[in-house]
Amino acid sequence: MDLKSLKKTRASHKAKLTIFKSYIESFLPNKLINKVQVLETTARLNKIMELYSEFDAIQTDIESLVEIPGEEHKEREIFETSYFGCVAVAQELLSAASAEQETGSVTGSSDSAGKPELQIRNKWRTDKGQPQPGDMVLIKDDRLPPNRWLLGRVTTVYPGADGVNRVADVATTSGTLRRAWNRLCPLPITLDQDAAPAPRGPAC
């Protein structure tokens, strides 16, 4: 695919993110959503989580084709700032809806009988499997088989509004990459950050 086609595809991805951002902002500042909105927000969030890997692949190709990638790095920074901010707000909305449902279930008060029942989303509230500095991970790449995914070590984590780590910086032989946690495959070992050797590149 040539540079012009890549940029056209990237523009489509940016438009999808803008639509998702507008949807999420429509719930602010109340930050309360009903059962139907929980289902719709969850579906939209699942699709937007897939969008990042698609954008990353396109953006990486663009950066490799231009002679001076500085401006393209700025494009990546702008997209990632908007993307991770939207994802964090969406997760907070789902977390708040889950907390509201749990509170209503515990109290069983009559004044909650008329409120729409909200679906509990425990996966947004648990800290199980959170990325931590020093964790060794494989970075998912839909363009490659798993045995060719890049190996790296988590250096920095970024918690969402609910305190759960969902984004991490990963040091690799190709530089430090920022990825959502669902795009990383943690290895069953945790190395001490000071003693850990530098990443050795793709798994073989």
Structure-block tokens of residue 97 = 């809806």
In CATH, the architecture of 135-190 is Roll (2.30)
pLDDT top residue among 66 and 32:
66
- Check: pTM over 0.75? Answer yes or no: no
Residue 155: pLDDT band (50, 70, 90) is: very high
Q: pLDDT by residue (tens digit) across 103-130?
A: 765 555 444 444 444 454 444 444 446 7
Q: pLDDT by residue (tens digit) across 28-61?
A: 877 788 889 899 999 999 999 889 999 999 999 9
What mean pLDDT do residues 77-93 have? 90
- Is pLDDT above 80 for 7? yes
pLDDT top residue among 122 and 86:
86
User: Can you give the residue ranges of every domain in the chain?
Assistant: 3-124, 135-190
Q: What angle do CA 143, 50, 163 make, to 5 degrees?
A: 125
- Of the ranges 75-89, 92-106, 148-162, 184-198, which one carries the lowest mean pLDDT score? 184-198
| pLDDT at site 13 | 94
Q: pLDDT by residue (tens digit) across 166-204?
A: 788 999 988 889 988 888 888 765 444 454 455 555 444
Task: Name the β-bridge partners of 171.
Answer: 153, 176
| pLDDT at site 189 | 58
**Cβ atoms < 10 Å from Cβ of 80:** 18
Tell me which residue of 149, 175, 179 sits closest to 87, measured CA to CA.
179
Task: Name the β-bridge partners of 135.
Answer: 190
